Amino acid sequence: MTNKRIAVLTSGGDAPGMNACIRAIVVASEGKGHSVIGFEHGYNGLLSADWRKLDSKKVHNIIQRGGTILRSARCKEFKEEASARLAAKHLDELAIDALLVIGGDGSFHGARHLANYWNGDVIGLPGTIDNDIYGTDATIGYYTAIETAMDSIDKVRDTADAFERIFLVEVMGRHAGFLGACAAIAGAANYVILPELFKDTQTTLDNIHQQLAIHRQRYGHESFIIVLTENLWPAGISDLATQLETLTGGEVRPVTLGHIQRGGSPVSQDRMLATLLGVHAVKCVEEDKSGIMVGVHNNEPVEIPLEQTWENKKALSSPLTHTMLTMLNERHHWGLG
Ligand SMILES: Nc1ncnc2c1ncn2[C@@H]1O[C@H](COP(=O)(O)OP(=O)(O)OP(=O)(O)O)[C@@H](O)[C@H]1O
Ligand SMILES: O=P(O)(O)OC[C@H]1O[C@](O)(CO)[C@@H](O)[C@@H]1O
């Protein structure tokens, strides 16, 4: 086997565990005699030839750090043909054999686009808190984000209970409900509003009203926590809070968790996933594989053509949906008191 020259970058929203993945790629490569460089600031670094050598000393003591030592970015101009050609030129000048892209499906589009103009191998590794990538059970960063959101809901409940208020907690996820569903279940919220279940605003308000009425009848005037996925309620979380105040006559407080969910030390599941995928990606480079994402299914690494990651929509699993409905949105039924 020939020694490879591998490049890595992180792109799109940063996710806890990206550093663990960079570390795994570097350590696995070094052990096999390959060399690794890292491009800075996502695809911007490919365009400006902003890179640095990575070795095991440089990735020592980073597994526990959130963010990404290579920085991340969104780079609009990378969609253009001229950008991909320029990136290919820089990669050829550096005699790179394979580029590993840690990011979301947008970043995988970028890798596929580059492959149209570059002869080297491109491999994607799923890194996003949204877990919205088809072909992998989980994405790097997702588990930590659930933990952060769950922890925040626990804290919100303390004040919600004290004031007997309704709270709305908005979580990220872009257009997917994985994070919202898990945070709501694990945080024992009372209701969750997710893109996968959303019909319309009136139906949602009616359902919440019904659940809330039974909840209050059963438990007295207690707190009620609703988890809302971002980008879903047409006029935003404040509008929903106002509508609920009108409907219930009580106080409603909106809390947007925002980018807090992207930060923090990765939990063990994200470190394990990142390491598993990083090591497997190096194996794929050795086997001259290209145009794939390395994902995970049933704890085993899997390889999926990049196109499939965005051509298919990842669905919430039916056990997850069933659990969520049973424990939250359909928990109370009239007549059962
Ligand atoms: N169609 C495309 N062609 C070329 N490059 C693309 C394309 N789509 C996205 N990219 C590149 O990938 C970058 C990241 O994409 P995007 O902002 O969608 O985030 P992502 O990788 O999906 O991650 P996340 O959703 O977690 O933030 C873009 O800024 C751009 O540089
Ligand atoms: O940091 P930005 O560019 O505002 O992007 C926010 C988006 O990125 C993510 O954090 C990751 O895709 C989404 O959940 C969110 O919608």
Binding site membership of 135 for ligand 2 (Cβ less than 6 Å): no
ipTM: 0.99
Q: How far is the CA of 192 from the centre of ligand 1 (A)?
A: 28
**CA separation for the pair 177, 110 (Å, rounded):** 24
**Predicted model pTM:** 0.97
Q: SS3 of 283, please?
A: helix
The predicted structure's pLDDT at residue 18: 99
Give the pLDDT of residue 335. Answer: 58
Separation between Cα atoms, residue 146 and residue 143, nearest integer Å? 5
**For residue range 135-186, what is the model confidence (pLDDT) as tens digits?**
999 999 999 999 999 999 999 999 999 999 999 999 999 999 999 999 999 9
Q: Which of 279, 271, 270 is nearest to 301 (CA)?
A: 279
Q: What is the pLDDT of residue 4?
A: 98
pLDDT < 70 positions in the chain: 334-337
pLDDT at 337: 42
What pLDDT shows up at residue 94? Answer: 98
Distance 115 CA to ligand 1 centre (A): 15
**pLDDT of the residue at 334:** 66
Buried b (16+ CB within 10 A) or exposed e, 235-245: eebeebbebbe
Name the residue among 235, 229, 230, 248 with its Cα closest to residue 184: 229
Task: Give the Cα separation of 69 and 9 in Å (integer).
Answer: 10
Edge-to-edge strand list for the sheet holding 292-297: 51-54, 35-39, 5-10, 98-103, 121-126, 292-297, 300-305
The preferred substitution site among 128, 133, 174 for testing ligand 2, maximizing ligand atoms within 8 Å of CB, is 174
Q: Does the beta carbon of 140 sit less than 6 angstroms from any atom of ligand 2?
A: no
- Using CA positions, which residue lies closest to atom 13 of ligand 2? 174
- Residue keyed to tokens 């069933």: 322
C-beta 105 within 6 A of ligand 1: yes
Phi and psi dihedrals of 294, rounded to 5?
A: -95, 115
CA distance 85 to 280: 28
Residue nearest to atom 5 of ligand 2 (CA): 13
User: How far is 293 from 277, CA to CA, in rounded Å?
Assistant: 10
| Cα gap 112→124, rounded to integer Å | 9
Does the Cβ of 110 fall within 6 Å of ligand 1?
A: yes
> Given phi > 0 = left and psi -120 to 50 = alpha, else beta, which region is 302?
beta
Closest CA to ligand 1's atom 3? 79
Report how far residue 7's alpha carbon sits from residue 164's, in angstroms, rounded to the nearest whole number.
54
Domains of the chain: 5-129+136-141+266-311 (3.40.50.450), 142-262 (3.40.50.460)
Q: Specify burial of residue 75 (Cβ count, 10 A radius: 0-12, 13-18, 19+).
A: buried
Pairing of strands 300-305, 292-297: antiparallel
Q: Please state, in angstroms and as integers, the Cα–Cα distance from residue 194 to each residue in 13, 241, 261, 330, following that order.
A: 20, 16, 17, 14
Q: Is the minimum distance from the CB of 127 to ligand 1 under 6 angstroms?
A: no
Whether the Cβ atoms of residue 196 and residue 315 lie closer than 8 Å to each other: yes
Compute the half-sphere exposure of residue 205: CA atoms within 13 Å on the CB side of its CA: 15
Active site residues: 130
